[in-house]
Copies of this chain bind each other. A is one copy, B any other.
Amino acid sequence: MSTTTALEGAPAPLALSALYAPVAKEMEEVERILRDELRNPHPFVDELVRYGCLLGGKRLRPALLLLTAKAIGPVRRDHLVLAAVVEMIHTATLVHDDVLDEAEMRRHLATVNARWDNEASVLLGDYLFTHAFYLASTLDTVLGCRLIGRATNIVCEGELRQKGSRGNFELTEQEYVSIIEGKTAELTAVSCRLGALFSGASEKLAGEMDGFGRDLGIAFQIADDLLDVLGEERTTGKSLGTDLEKQKPTLPIIRALELATPADREELLELLTGDQRQPHLVAPYLERYEALDYARDRAASFAQSARRRLDLLPGSPARNILTLMTEFVVSRSS
């Protein structure tokens, strides 16, 4: 299970942080909160927790929260705290992902399980989750806790559903979208909802911003899954697409299976799940049924839906950046 997104894996990180210009000062504040919170008097805990904090990467979720907030009203202290909270939760899921994937590197750093061990990763992830919840509870209102608790639970449910669907190539497109909506888009959605609500947005506007973050998250994840298959195509036989290697059904495969003739379908399933699996040989089938183009179109369509939801916002630099973000995702998967 991977909760990294296409945007985060982008080769030009500078471009992305430049995007945060309208909230640059606020993002610095968030870094300060993260640094201050993720400090511990016990040396071993301190070392681990600080290292974990470095792994989070591009700070996409805090940026979404703050940009949404700024597009609607003034950015307040509560926003900064909540931005740190969503980043901590994201980092917790990454640290636990690395245990499951037995990954060795993340963002040019050794993963926690590679540098320490799985035990350290499990405990560090738990520490980050619980610290995030505690931090959310320092606000005066229970609203932040409620939205973050619910969203995080849906993320975990999505991860479990994805695990349960491994090797199930009967999975429909609808089920696939519902799973990535849980595991990836729920957290981007709640980031935008929190940004809006704590800027005094109406329920209606907050719901639209939630929808924006949700569509954006889904577009990201489709694009990310697509890159996994594309990596596969380019390096045929060398480095297997990790999703296919793990029998994780993603959109291009689902699409090809849906359109395939009975004979092609049988061959494809044999390559994916047979006794002598050869997932690196799926490319011709994806091409035959234009499955990659289809997945690209679906990502673009979710990105467009996200973009349209921004129409409710008044014009502002923050809104412009949110619009740009919806374009990033599509540009990565073509």
B118 near A163 (CB under 8 angstroms)? no
CA distance A299 to B92 in the complex (A): 36
B146 near A127 (CB under 8 angstroms)? no
CB neighbours (8 Å) of A140 from chain B are: 142
Nearest chain B residue, comparing its CB with the CB of A93: B126
A164 near B134 (CB under 8 angstroms)? no
One complex includes copies of this chain to the number of 2
A58 sits at the interface (CB 8 A): no
A149 sits at the interface (CB 8 A): yes
CB neighbours (8 Å) of A48 from chain B are: 160
A137 near B149 (CB under 8 angstroms)? yes
CB neighbours (8 Å) of A164 from chain B are: 42-45
CA distance A1 to B122 in the complex (A): 12
Name the distance in Å between A120's Cβ and chain B's nearest Cβ.
Answer: 7
B119 near A45 (CB under 8 angstroms)? no
CB neighbours (8 Å) of A163 from chain B are: 44, 119-120, 123
CA distance A148 to B323 in the complex (A): 39
In the complex, which residues 27-63 of chain A have their Cβ closer than 8 Å to any Cβ of chain B? Answer: 40, 42-45, 48
B44 near A160 (CB under 8 angstroms)? yes
Nearest chain B residue, comparing its CB with the CB of A100: B119
Known contacts A44-B165, A127-B160, A133-B152; can you find 14 more A-B pairs with CB under 8 A? A1-B123, A42-B157, A45-B161, A96-B126, A100-B123, A123-B163, A126-B129, A130-B153, A130-B155, A133-B133, A133-B145, A133-B148, A133-B149, A133-B153
- List 30 A–B pairs whose Cβ atoms lie within 8 Å, in order of A's numbering: A42-B160, A45-B157, A45-B164, A48-B160, A96-B123, A99-B119, A100-B122, A118-B118, A119-B163, A120-B160, A122-B122, A122-B125, A123-B163, A125-B126, A126-B156, A126-B159, A127-B157, A129-B129, A130-B149, A130-B152, A131-B153, A133-B149, A134-B150, A136-B149, A137-B149, A139-B142, A140-B142, A141-B142, A145-B145, A145-B149
Binding site for B on A (CB under 8 A): 1, 40, 42-45, 48, 92-93, 96, 99-100, 118-120, 122-127, 129-131, 133-142, 145-146, 148-150, 152-153, 155-157, 159-161, 163-165
